[in-house]
Amino acid sequence: MTRKPQQRSIATRARVLQAAMDLSQRHGLELVTADAVATEAGVAKGTVFSHFGDMDGLLSHVLMDRLKSLKSTSEDAARSDDMSDPVGLLLDRMMGLIAVITDSPTILRLFLDNIGVTKPNCAAEFVETLAALDADLASFLEKWQRSDVVQPVLRQDRTSDEMVDGLIAFMIHGAMLFKSHQLTDRVALEARLRRHVEAFLLKT
């Protein structure tokens, strides 16, 4: 039995997106071209554009898939009861996001475009994905804030949402420093973030 046109279209779109993700993993995002994606997916070049508009549209979906993978990782971490190093766990999350959005200049530009920094409108799917990441981070901070035993002690005079806002600012700033080559070493970047996080979050 043949599939309906809509089902074929959905399957083709998924195949094109998978091809772009596979190519980006093998060769890096900067080498993902419409021609390469079309060849990998076994479709015409025009099919790539008909489903995603342009390469920015396609690569934005590659980025969003990576962000969703971060959410899965953070959910796995949230299920763990290990709070022996809450600052370290927090830095793992922050460096994970920075690693995704600094993978290439194109990825960082698309991230800033899609969250409304460099373009006037935020992409709805990005807003939903990032909101879910923010909620996971807020939940982690609330767990830390409520604990009577976790050390060091988290400040009590700010809500988790307020603290998440500050951490996001640190992450974006860190990503910009890294991609502008003001900081060239991820270990140095993480050490800098640790100092910011400790000064901002810990109870004095």
Q: What is the pLDDT of residues 63-88, one digit of tens each?
A: 988 888 887 776 666 566 678 899 99
- pLDDT single digits (tens) 162-179: 999 999 999 999 998 998
Spatial separation of the C-alpha atoms in residues 134 and 128, rounded to whole Å: 10
Spatial separation of the C-alpha atoms in residues 163 and 199, rounded to whole Å: 12
Q: How many other C-beta atoms are found inside a 10 Å radius of the C-beta of residue 109?
A: 16
Spatial separation of the C-alpha atoms in residues 84 and 204, rounded to whole Å: 19
Q: How many other C-beta atoms are found inside a 10 Å radius of the C-beta of residue 165?
A: 13
Spatial separation of the C-alpha atoms in residues 29 and 58, rounded to whole Å: 11
What is the reported pTM?
0.82
Residue 49 Rama label (left phi>0; alpha psi -120 to 50; beta): alpha
Using DSSP, state whether 202 is helix, strand or coil. Answer: strand
pLDDT of residue 124: 82
Beta pairing partners, 202: 154
- Which portions of the chain are predicted below pLDDT 50? 1
Enclosing H/E stretch for 137: helix 124-146
Domains in the chain: ranges and CATH: 1-53 (1.10.10.60), 59-201 (1.10.357)
